[in-house]
Chains A and B, each alone.
Chain A
Amino acid sequence: MSPPLLGVEEEGQSRVSSPSVECISHNGLGIRERNYLGLSDFCSVDSSGVPDDNGNNLNLKATELRLGLPGSQSPERETEHCFLNSGKLDEKTLFPLLPSKDGICSSSQRSVVTGNKRGFSEVKGTIYTEKKWMGHGAVPDSQSLQPVSHGKYSVAQASVKKDGPANVVQEQPCTSNGTKVNRTDISNNSSAPTAKAQVVGWPPIRSFRTKTLTTSSKNNDEVDGKPGPGTLFVKVSMDGAPYLRKVDLRMYSTYQELSSALEKMFSCFTLGQCGAHGTPGKEILSESKLKDLLHGSEYVLTYEDKDGDWMLVGDVPWEMFIETCRRLKIMKSADAIGLAPKAMDKSKKDC
Chain B
Amino acid sequence: MPLKAVILIGGPQKGTRFRPLSFEVPKPLFPVAGVPMVQHHIEACAKVPGMKEILLMGFYQPNEALSRFLVSAQQEFKVPIRYLQEYAALGTGGGIYHFRDQILSGGAEAFFVLNADVCSEFPLQEMLEFRQQHGDMHSFVILGTTANRTQALNYGCIVANASTQEVQHYVEKPSTFVSEIINCGIYLFTPAIFQHIGEVFQRNQQELALEENSNGWQRAEVIRLEQDVFTALAGSGKLYVYKTDGFWSQIKSAGSAIYASRLYLNQYSKSHPERLAQNKPGGPVIRGNVYIHPTASIDSTAVLGPNVSIGEGVTVGAGVRVRESIVLHGASLHDHTCVLNTIVGWDSTIGRWARVEGTPSDPNPNDPYAKIDSETLFRDGRLTPSITILGCSVTIPAEVVILNSIVLPHKELSRSYKNQIILALPAPSCHSSPGYLCTICCLQLPGRSWPISKTWEL
Is chain B a partner of chain A in the same complex? no
Residues of B whose CB lies within 8 Å of any CB of A are: none
Residues of A within 8 A of B (CB): none
